[in-house]
Chain A
């Protein structure tokens, strides 16, 4: 049994009586510990697909099986639990809450997790140290650069020890060094912790660094 099975997923957006097939009948299997990338142009459906995998939008049809269970058969409680415990999500935009410090942003998923751990603060600081932000623990996002904000988002995605990281353009708009640092960190997490990585990018150079590459075009997907 694959960790993630994507079965005939279709997502249609209706905009002004116009139906747009963002994802068109996509099927895919992802094994535990894989590091795969999905490349494609803007509007090819990459973001919609990983949003469906992450359970943050429902497909028009099809199923996502996680460890054999259809996640969209869950009610809100269970689906939120899936997002909280199994998935770490990294958005393509700045997703930090501006009223919170870096540490509080990293701690945010813990507020929604049923597992109440006493060492969360320590763990948040450890993750911030790991992503090289030990001196920015109490800094607000407005005082962080784009790259630093992405790194806080990585630390936040790891906070609940997810089995899968879904990263949507994690290095977009970042300089080469920061991009390289982030990819290095992803690889370490993938290899040492056996976390599955599904990374969406339009950067083919970046995609080549992953073990498996797929390409999306007009809502359809194919292996490269």
Chain B
């Protein structure tokens, strides 16, 4: 069957006449889009990880020992293995603060392979099943009952490290034997790397002396606020009344990381803007040359009936083909780069949540638009100039 001759096939033939020049433009757009995809993936991944964690924790306030806010965020957001303690009596004092509704607390213990435990270094979280509203939804879904003393359930990421499969295994934690009874579903938070035990086990662990914790200590308190109360005000009141703690409102969890991220974001934005300007100039320079080269041909086409619209459409088809191919190459390479480089950035290495499909599609779509818009913007002025020339003048311009 004969291939139909259309304006699009003419555009493709035009692009093929100087393959090196077309390839350079495609590569330039590809590099720009690749940088954009990489930068946006980085920023969005950190941002969404923080959002997911603060939403899934289900608490309005996080109360930690004074000066331990960073450590707590490291555990919750970045899966770092850290411990910090405060007196358990603080729970009762927090309860008395106006506006505080439900409370639960957790105790973080760090395992050391060989010294206390037979699992790789990870964090063990002891939680109170009577008051808990953080772990319980995940526990109920998976186990359907309370954890017994001497039982442990592990986060989805820890399961791989401890090699828990379908069968139950026993592990030694702080000198005590624990039956690993299951694996929690992925939460997308730092809790995925933890091992969970009931708070009742703490007394035995303290007695065994293999954990760096004293009797009557906890790590942090999660609090829910009564309806109509401002979390920031309640947090302020807690900090004023109890000098031994810092209180962080849910929206402020990860604020330090977000502030750091803002600077990185700025650097990425400036880089992408500069690269975009450079690309616009490159496209402008190339299409100015193309317009001059093809002035006679455009003049001939105009003389045999092409409207300004046809000239614009022909050039835009070429621009869009370059922009589209460059953008697709950039999206693929940028995504691959962001996946490969993820392990090279400390901030990303420990983040629990990865980008979901919707976010990846959003980034790809936005990047595609950036790539094509940059191409169109660069070509706009040469196209405007050539389409306005009278046919005979265009023919003679060569």
Whether chains A and B associate is yes
> Which A residues have a C-beta under 8 Å from some C-beta of B?
51, 54, 56-58, 76-77, 80-81, 83-85, 88-89, 91, 95, 97, 99-100, 103-104, 107-109, 111-113, 121, 156-157, 160
B392 & A112 in contact (Cβ 8 Å cutoff): no
By a CB distance below 8 angstroms, the chain B residues around A84 are 304-306
Within 8 A of A (CB), among B349-398: 390-393, 395
Given A57, A58, A112, A156, which contacts B310 in the complex, CB threshold below 8 Å? Answer: A112
A109 & B307 in contact (Cβ 8 Å cutoff): no
Known: A100-B10, A111-B10. A56 touches B303 (CB 8 A): yes
Bound Cα distance A97, B7 (Å): 13
Residue B239, interface by CB 8 Å: no
Residue B103, interface by CB 8 Å: no
Within 8 A of A (CB), among B278-332: 297, 299-310
By a CB distance below 8 angstroms, the chain A residues around B5 are 103-104, 107, 111, 121
B13 & A56 in contact (Cβ 8 Å cutoff): no
A58 & B17 in contact (Cβ 8 Å cutoff): no
Bound Cα distance A209, B7 (Å): 39
By a CB distance below 8 angstroms, the chain B residues around A88 are 304
Residue B340, interface by CB 8 Å: no
A108 & B304 in contact (Cβ 8 Å cutoff): yes
Residue B166, interface by CB 8 Å: no
* Chain B residues touching A, majority SS: helix
A81 & B305 in contact (Cβ 8 Å cutoff): yes
B307 & A57 in contact (Cβ 8 Å cutoff): no
B297 & A89 in contact (Cβ 8 Å cutoff): no
Interface size class of B (residues with CB under 8 A): 20 to 34
Given A85, A95, A113, which contacts B300 in the complex, CB threshold below 8 Å? Answer: A95
Known: A99-B14, A100-B13. A54 touches B301 (CB 8 A): no
Given B17, B297, B305, which contacts A112 in the complex, CB threshold below 8 Å? Answer: B305
A58 & B390 in contact (Cβ 8 Å cutoff): yes
11 contacts between A and B (CB under 8 A): A58-B390, A76-B307, A80-B306, A99-B10, A104-B5, A104-B10, A108-B301, A111-B310, A112-B310, A156-B304, A160-B305
In the assembled complex, how far is the CB of residue B115 from the closest CB belonging to chain A, in whole angstroms? 76
Given A81, A100, A111, A160, which contacts B7 in the complex, CB threshold below 8 Å? Answer: A111
Closest 9 CB pairs of A and B: A84-B305, A56-B391, A57-B392, A112-B305, A80-B307, A112-B306, A99-B13, A56-B303, A56-B392
A113 & B305 in contact (Cβ 8 Å cutoff): yes
By a CB distance below 8 angstroms, the chain A residues around B390 are 56-58
B302 & A80 in contact (Cβ 8 Å cutoff): yes
Known: A56-B302, A157-B304. 19 other contacts (CB 8 A): A54-B303, A56-B390, A56-B391, A57-B393, A58-B390, A80-B305, A83-B303, A83-B391, A84-B304, A84-B306, A99-B17, A100-B10, A103-B5, A109-B304, A111-B5, A111-B6, A111-B306, A111-B310, A112-B307
